[in-house]
Amino acid sequence: MSNHIARKRFGQNFLIDQQVIADIVNAVAPKRSDRVVEIGPGLGALTDPLLKRLDHLHVVEIDRDIVARLSKRCSPEKLTIHQGDALNFDFASLADLTDGKLHVVGNLPYNISTPLLFHLAGFAHCIHDMHFMLQKEVVERMVAEPGTSDFGRLSVMLQYRFFMDWLLDVPPESFDPAPKVDSAVVRLIPRPPEELTVKDESTFATLVSTAFGQRRKMLRNNLKSLIGDTSFEQLGIAPTARAEDLSVEDYIRMANVLSQ
């Protein structure tokens, strides 16, 4: 499969560093009967070692050439290929087949990583854990602390729903073709339902998106269509603060007041 030419429109950068591959698979630590789905298997860098440790593997792949190659190499008893865009894939459809929850793995294409993370957040209830290779700056934003320039909409929305661990850094030379950016591997574990205290998810999403819409502005200006100064006072939040100054808990409290 090494003669496959990476396609820019699919954001393909194929992982070739054997040590990094081993580190990722060991972090996933799949048990034989686990239900694992890999997003974007590419040339099989993670697929092959995962198959050795699993009874069965599901993959989601958009590139028809790769789908055809995988079909020739692997029997349907071991590998189920779901051809299509992961951004539109119903991950719950795989979890419904078993009592166990999904383990999701992938070297995610840089060009769709953020929307894909938001898409997957909607399936957190049927996911056990996720291990992803991402652009390092995306991981920095995911795990950022309030009060820092990296803290934004992605930080709030993912930290509300997941525990996250930055596992390892991966240099450009670990890929072919080598990207112009550093990468990192992150683990996401869904928080238990009792920790998800937002009353209305769409209100929360709208609030966070609006707050960070113009992040240099004060919250009083950014959120004037949603919250007045009196509500800020009641919540103990300074209307002169900026979006990155608030904690995830502050956003939960604000959203819940708006939902009343």
pLDDT band at 7 (very low <50, low <70, confident <90, very high): very low
Question: Is residue 115 reached through a cis peptide bond, with omega within 30 degrees of 0 on the bond before it?
Answer: no
Pairing of strands 175-176, 14-15: antiparallel
Q: Identify the DSSP state of 180.
A: S
Amino acid symbol at 129: D
Which pLDDT score, from 0 to 100, does residue 134 have?
95
pLDDT exceeds cutoff 90 at 78:
yes
Which pLDDT value is given to residue 91? 96
- pLDDT in the model for residue 8: 46
**Using alpha carbons only, what angle is made at residue 127 by residues 129 and 35, rounded to the nearest 5 degrees?**
85
The pTM (predicted TM-score) of the whole model is 0.91
3-state class (DSSP) for residue 139: helix
What pLDDT, on a 0 to 100 scale, did the predictor assign at position 260? Answer: 84
pLDDT at 9: 47
The whole-number pLDDT of residue 229 equals: 87
Provide the mean pLDDT of the chain.
92
Integer Cα distance of 56 and 188 in angstroms: 22
What pLDDT digit, counting tens, does each position of 216-232 carry? 899 999 999 999 888 99
Q: 13 versus 143: which is more confidently predicted?
A: 143
Please report the domains of the chain, with CATH numbers, ordered by start residue: 8-194 (3.40.50.150), 201-258 (1.10.8.100)
- Residue 67 token pair: 């789908």
How does pLDDT run across 127-182, given as a tens digit for each residue?
999 999 999 999 999 999 999 999 999 999 999 999 999 999 999 999 988 888 99
Average pLDDT over residues 112-121: 95
Amino acid identity of 179? P
- Strands (DSSP E) contained in 40-124 are 57-61, 79-83, 102-107
Question: Residues 194-199: what's their mean pLDDT?
Answer: 97
What is the pLDDT, as a whole number, of residue 158? 98
pLDDT at 6: 44
Average pLDDT score over residue span 57-76:
93
Alpha carbon 135 to chain centroid, angstroms: 11
With beta carbons less than 8 A apart as the criterion, state whether 14 and 6 touch. yes
Which amino acid, 161?
A: R
Token duo for residue 132: 């992803």
Q: Is the pLDDT of residue 112 over 50?
A: yes
Q: Which two tokens stand for residue 260?
A: 């009343």
What's the average model confidence in pLDDT over 90-113?
A: 86
The pair of structure tokens assigned to 100 is 């166990």
The torsion defined by the Cα of 7, 9, 10 and 11, in degrees rounded to 10, comes to 80
144 touches 156 (CB < 8 A) = no
Q: State what percent of residues in the chain have pLDDT above 70.
A: 94
Average pLDDT for 14-35: 94
